[in-house]
Amino acid sequence: MLKTPLSRRNFMQRSTAFAAAVAAGAKFTTTPAHAAREKELNILCWEGYNSAQVLDPFRQDKGATVKAESLTNDPTMVNRLRAGETKIWDLINVNNPWARKIMAPEGLIKPLDRATFEPYFDKMMPAFKAPYKWAMDEKGEQLIGMAQRFGPYCFVVNTDKVSRKTAEDQGWNLWNDPANDKKYGVLESDDWNVFNICCIAGFDPFKVHNDDEVAKFTETAKRVFKGAKVVGDIATMNQSLVSGEIDFHLTGGTYSASPARADGAANIRGITPNSGPMEGGKGGIVWIEITSPVNNPELSPLATEFLKYVQDPKVAHTVAFAEGTFNPVAQMGNKECFDLFTKEELDAIQWDSLEEEVARSVEYDIVPDYDKLLDIMTAAKKEASAG
């Protein structure tokens, strides 16, 4: 999913304030304060779940006050919980590793009842069938969230300038060709930019990197930002692609290209390389969102009701095409949901190539030495903008 700048440093260090957090499997009991929250729900999420299109029918049906805040990176959301906001939020919606590897072990989220929620996975696309890895804790015992939106996220081209075949075959080496300087843009998305620069440098982002790799990352980051013609957000990138100002950009994919495609610019296409430096020789990365109940001592009972609500075929379709960006959803495995998508909507989310692109991708994960690489990349970006 697009994604925009990270600001958290030393993310992997557990907050002292939450060293004694309640275990992820802790249960909650109904108290007078909890009962008072039966008509209140607070959601911390990526854009889409905060859309009135998604929330208003739920508000009306439940007669509830539902507040949703959209942020633009996972670490910031997780750190909000670490800083004490478990008392505020009822649901958190982040990319796949954070629930399983960070929030569940730190006691920031609660498990769901497997008997109630696992049947929903049976109606999802085959890759999401229960027990789905990223929706389970690391022991594979507790269900810690529900899957919905997902998509490949690598880079985007204007196929009038760079053909899909050329882009898929050359992959990350597009950024290693000096002839492409000032022909591309960089979407400001710190975690994904770190991933991409590792790939351009020729090594797997999701492993601890040796000194030679760090040196190569440093050189590559400086070169990539120095050669960028445009650095900006999704709207800026799409406008620059459509106008012909740039030929391609990183980071990007279905998530970022879909608004332009939905507006009729079919020549703007997310690309997943045919090969790359990741495990198994894969060249792409796919993100999957997981939505989990927060370990709120007064958790609203509407949290689980909302998780059921967004599994409904019509609501899942609304989530896929909520205002902002457009994405595939796991619920498209249910024919009742899939049939709601028009030909134009399927084209906007590149349904024609989704299966093969996912097959060429590894799943979004946490970079072990992310802080070090982020510092290097940030310095490279500043150096390029100053020069």
Residues in Cβ contact with 380 at an 8 Å cutoff, skipping those fewer than 6 apart:
218, 221, 222, 224, 225
Domain annotation covers residue 9: no
pLDDT given for residue 17 in this prediction? 34
We report the CATH number of the domain holding residue 175 as 3.40.190.10
100 lies in the same domain as 89: yes
Domain that holds residue 50: 19-149+289-349
Q: What is the pLDDT of residues 169-180, one digit of tens each?
A: 999 999 999 999
Domain annotation covers residue 4: no
pLDDT given for residue 189 in this prediction? 87
176 lies in the same domain as 227: yes
pLDDT given for residue 72 in this prediction? 76
Domain annotation covers residue 12: no
pLDDT given for residue 5 in this prediction? 36
Q: Report whether 42 contacts 67 (CB < 8 A).
A: yes
Average pLDDT over residues 179-191: 95
pTM value is 0.87
300 lies in the same domain as 344: yes
Q: What is the pLDDT of residues 74-126, one digit of tens each?
A: 888 999 999 999 999 999 999 999 999 999 999 999 999 999 999 999 999 99
Domain annotation covers residue 293: yes
For the ranges 8-12, 136-140, 164-168, 250-254, the lowest mean pLDDT is seen at 8-12
229 lies in the same domain as 311: no
CA end-to-end span of the chain: 31
Domain annotation covers residue 162: yes
Spatial separation of the C-alpha atoms in residues 69 and 45, rounded to whole Å: 6
240 lies in the same domain as 375: yes
215 lies in the same domain as 276: yes
Nearest by Cα to 172 from 27, 48, 38, 273: 273
Angle at alpha carbon of residue 198, lines to 194 and 202, rounded to 5°: 170
Q: How many domains does one find in the chain?
A: 2
- Alpha-carbon separation of residue 1 from 101, 151, 254, 328, 381 (angstroms): 19, 7, 8, 11, 22
Beta-strand (E) ranges in the chain?
Answer: 40-45, 65-70, 91-95, 146-158, 184-187, 228-232, 248-253, 268-271, 284-293, 361-363
Domain annotation covers residue 88: yes
75 lies in the same domain as 156: no
Tokens for 215, please give them. 């040196």
173 lies in the same domain as 197: yes
218 lies in the same domain as 305: no
Domain annotation covers residue 357: no
187 lies in the same domain as 278: yes
295 lies in the same domain as 279: no
Q: What is the pLDDT of residues 350-363, one digit of tens each?
A: 999 999 999 999 99
97 lies in the same domain as 48: yes
Domain annotation covers residue 358: no
